[in-house]
Amino acid sequence: MGDIARFHPFPLFCWFAAVISVSVFVPNPVIGVTSLLGGGCLLFVCRRGRLRARTALSYVLLFALVTLTNPVFSHGGKTPLFFVNGTPVTLESAAYGAGLAVGIVSVLLLCACWSEVMSDEKFMYLFGRAAPKLSVILSAAQRMIPRFLRRMRTVNGAVSALGARTSQSFSDRAAQSMKVFYAMTAWSAENSIETASAMKARGYGLCGRTSFSPVRFRAKDGVLLALTLALTAVTFTGVGTGALGFEYYPEITGIPSSPLALAVYVSFGVLSFLPCFFRVGGVLKWKYCVSRI
């Protein structure tokens, strides 16, 4: 099935919208853990196994921060674990913090996968005709931060190579960093103006303007779209009927295990790992073809 980024933008957008929507609005532990595992696996596949330890550590630290912070500020629940200066730390607040952390990290992983898979050209292809001005703004915002960070690292390396940061004084280093930041801000503003002028000069957004796009809707794109819609329909049916109802407060309820809930768990699990399945299928097909040579 080839690389995930080679899929048509529309089924990819539908898949991301479905998984992120369920991950955000369904506070069920099984759904949260499934989304977390699916997002992590997809990010690992998108980056071809080159997931840096610092990136993984940042997600782990964020998970721990959210999990430990919630019991400090929220003291609801009927099951106290221990007391700090007479204030109870409850099991329900700790569990809610862990569930909230799972949801946040899973959405961040999916957003990182989005930036790896959905390029600016694909975003413009999806929304360029329906909302040309909005699509330009969102496309520019999507790539602004990565470009800003890459250019910042380049400028910092050049400044360090010139010996401008040899001073050990904190004030001198802070002043030099602020100069670099001001220069990067001016560069970003100038680049935005140049991009807008170039788009206007090329007639972007005018009525009757045509555009070339090498994107084609192929058979595998139809399979991905059909499976996404079918699995999403099953998941939304379970959510709409209340089959996945779960509460943290005032006490933790049992995880739903009705036949419909189990069907939703399986459907959402397949949906979360669906692009990974396509990738694994493509790798197996390639190895099979190589073995036949």
Reduced 3-state DSSP string for 101-115: HHHHHHHHHHHHHHH
Average pLDDT score over residue span 202-208:
68
pLDDT reading at 1 higher than 60: no
pTM for the model:
0.78
CA 1 to CA 16: how far, in whole Å? 18
| Burial class of 43 by CB neighbour count within 10 A (0 to 12, 13 to 18, 19+) | buried
Please list, in sequence order, all residues whose beta carbon lies within 8 angstroms of the beta carbon of residue 11, skipping any fewer than 6 positions away. Answer: 221, 222, 224, 225, 228
Of 258, 254, 222, the C-alpha closest to 238 is 258
Confidence of residue 2 (pLDDT cuts 50, 70, 90): very low
- pLDDT at position 122, please? 80
Contact 23, 32 (CB under 8 A): yes
| Domain with 231 in it | 4-291
Selection from 27, 45, 15 nearest residue 101 by Cα: 27
- Taking the CB of residue 80, how many other CB atoms lie within 10 A of it? 14
The CA-based angle 42-46-52, given to 5 degrees, is 95
Domain count, the chain: 1
Q: Give 272 or 180, the one with higher predicted confidence.
A: 272
Task: Identify the residue whose tokens are 């964020």.
Answer: 62
Mean of pLDDT values over 81-94: 84
